[in-house]
Amino acid sequence: MSVISLRDIEVRFNSKHVFDGFSLDIGQGEKVRIKGKSGAGKTTLFKLMLGFLQPDAGEVLYEGQKLNGSTVWRARKSMAYVSQDMSIGEGLVKDFFDEIFSYEANKHLQVDREDIMKLFRKFSLNEELYEGRIPELSGGEKQRIAIVISILLDRPVYLLDEITSSLDEVLKEKIAQYFLGLKGKTLLIISHDRVWEKNDVKLIDLDNLR
Ligand SMILES: Nc1ncnc2c1ncn2[C@@H]1O[C@H](COP(=O)(O)OP(=O)(O)OP(=O)(O)O)[C@@H](O)[C@H]1O
């Protein structure tokens, strides 16, 4: 069964048709890169999958269930969404981690400081940053912290929206390798970075729809 299905989706903004009869099936464990020029509808696709945007026609299904008021929470709890410009708050980094892992949806996760530090080291984040303040982090450090949190959330589905665009080549490669190596996870990747172009990554090109 597909994890996420879009059936005959139509999305209009004023007179602009972003999707007109678009369908897509994402299987469990599939790794899919979504490509398309600016304005093609890449982020709109993620918003539909998360139930943040209702299509004007057609339906979005998560594990075969149509997204609606009573099913959307289960779907969202199964997905980790990471974007280019995530707001990760204004306070201390460690307080932000505490806050995320105290949410009801995440309480079952047993995340200790060493789990966090392992990922800090893996993605070349200085361990001292954990005690620091979020406004003092660079853009690339904030980005990597959002990535570390998404990994610790250990969700079955990852929606990654340009997560490597502000990082250097070495980090881009490390992060792509890490995610693409996750067995059994379903990945949807919006990225212009070549590091995600691998043989087992399926490509959906939104520019070829019209
Ligand atoms: N809330 C909105 N109101 C009006 N138009 C919108 C809205 N959201 C998106 N659009 C329009 O829909 C189109 C698709 O937007 P979307 O953000 O999905 O594009 P994208 O492919 O992610 O682009 P980019 O690569 O520039 O981020 C764009 O033309 C955008 O202006």
Of the pLDDT bands very low, low, confident and very high (cuts 50, 70, 90), residue 84 is confident
- Which tokens is 50 given? 């998360």
Confidence (pLDDT) at 85: 78
| Residues whose beta carbon lies within 6 Å of some atom of ligand 1 | 13, 16, 18, 36, 38-44
**Closest among 192, 158, 203, 208 to 178, alpha carbons compared:** 158
Residue written as tokens 């999305």? 11
Percent of the chain's residues with pLDDT above 70: 100
Mutate to test the pocket of ligand 1, among 33, 37, 44, 205 (most ligand atoms within 8 A of CB): 44
Alpha carbon nearest to ligand 1 atom 26, residue: 38
Mutate to test the pocket of ligand 1, among 33, 34, 42 (most ligand atoms within 8 A of CB): 42
pLDDT tens per residue across span 147-157? 999 999 999 99
Alpha carbon nearest to ligand 1 atom 1, residue: 13
What is the value of pTM for the model shown?
A: 0.94
